[in-house]
Copies of this chain bind each other. A is one copy, B any other.
Amino acid sequence: MIPRYSRPTMTAIWSPESRFKIWFEIEAHATTALAEIGVVPKAAAETIWAKGKDAVFDVARIDEIEAVTKHDVIAFLTHLAEIVGPEARFVHQGMTSSDVLDTCLNVQLVRAADILIADVDALLAALKSRALEHKLTPTIGRSHGIHAEPVTFGLKLAQAYAEFERNRRRLVAAREEVATCAISGAVGTFANIDPRVEQYVAEKMGLTAEPVSTQVIPRDRHAMFFATLGVVASSLERLAIEVRHLQRTEVLEAEEFFSEGQKGSSAMPHKRNPVLTENITGLARMVRGYVVPALENVALWHERDISHSSVERMIGPDATVTLDFALARMTGVIEKLLIYPANMQKNLDRLGGLVHSQRVLLALTQAGVSREDSYRLVQRNAMPVWRGEGDFLALLKADPEVTAALSLEQIEECFDLGYHFKHVDTIFSRVFGNKAQG
């Protein structure tokens, strides 16, 4: 996470100020719950809320205390006592640092997930809008980078839409994975803290109680969370690579928006480079890279060790901020993507009709020619076209073995582009529901 690839809403979640505010809320809610079950005085809980609620926690002061205690939660509690006064001794009763730290981390991850889900929603909206716009714009489908058969540009975007709808569902599931709270005390036995406190804090913080924690919330949850971000990032990379391919000079079927004032190259003024999607490609690598340490974080020793902590201090912000930025950047790319239907048509026409080879093959088979012979007939007329030595339709019409099986009219029928788009509606209904047909 670096400022260059960060957006403030997501970054704010991870600021020390946010963290201390969440810590305060957890501690204060816990104190309220303790007061309700009679462990601490109600007045103390009220004082804590009253004095702490709008307090601005002094990050520098807390750092200063931590330099001595070498323990961040103790440093915070010491500072809280400076704000709240003697009632502070009722704070954190029976709790352990992890109760605060782990619940806080999950609050942060849940908030981050909410932003990421909203990001995906924005991307979905952009994809849908452009997909409907280009629902029937013909373009060549490519397998292996080689022209295959016609598709529409809308279908390409519909595919991306469906993929990000899956990613949305995955993010919702990932959010649920980490939406738990643990206030279970040392080694998670509730020996010194009543389970009702956990229940209360969980509810107040928008979480559910972790069924069994061991001082820490189990890290398989977080592993699943970050692995999901890695999948979303990989989908982004797929879409980014699609745009990069479409913008290649020889293809030029679409292009990232290029603002006035922008300079593509310090040396070559004509350049218009797909730098946004290249950037997203790199960011996707980063988010994927964070999956590995997240998986390694699961196997903590016994009830807990703290090796996960340094990892999470980094990948917590790094993965969520980077993915947020990449998603938002991609939404901008799609919204403003320059799309060139004329170039698509030009590319479609490029192969002298070869894209219709399969249809000819099928027509031959249906006319009674064996599959092997049909393949041979098509291939021998296709190869010269591939070498630029002729037009596929003309060659077929001149091949007596072909015309023995198909009339000239039947051959020509195989070259109808519309034939390929007859199920676009079906696919759009599957992806967007019935409204997509309007």
Contact = CB atoms under 8 A, between A and B. Distances in A.
B298 A234 contact: yes
B263 A282 contact: no
Nearest to A97: B266
Interface in A139-180: 140-151, 155-156, 158-159, 162-163, 166-167, 170, 173, 177
A230 B299 CA distance: 12
B141 A379 contact: no
B357 A143 contact: no
Copies of this chain: 4
Interface stretch (A17-25, A109-117, A236-244): A236-244
30 contacts: A2-B314, A5-B313, A94-B362, A95-B266, A96-B266, A141-B188, A141-B189, A141-B215, A142-B301, A142-B303, A145-B248, A149-B191, A149-B268, A155-B212, A162-B212, A209-B430, A227-B230, A230-B295, A242-B301, A244-B301, A250-B250, A250-B251, A250-B350, A267-B361, A270-B386, A278-B305, A282-B297, A285-B307, A289-B289, A289-B290
A245 B358 contact: no
B261 A69 contact: yes
A68 interface: yes
Given A167-B220, A192-B362, A211-B431, A269 B310 contact: no
Contact of A146 (B241, B272, B322): B272
Interface string A20-33: 00000000000000
Interface string A360-394: 01100100001110010011001101100000100
Interface string A400-438: 000000000000000000011111101100110000000
A318 B315 CA distance: 11
Contact of A274 (B74, B144, B167): B144
A430 B212 contact: yes
A104 to B, nearest CB: 14
A198 B240 CA distance: 29
Nearest to A297: B285
Interface in A330-377: 347, 350-351, 354, 357-359, 361-362, 365, 370-372, 375
A281 B305 CA distance: 10
Interface in A267-295: 267-275, 278-279, 281-286, 288-293, 295
Interface string A72-92: 011001100100001011001
A47 interface: no
Contacts of A241: 299, 301
A311 to B, nearest CB: 5
A129 interface: no
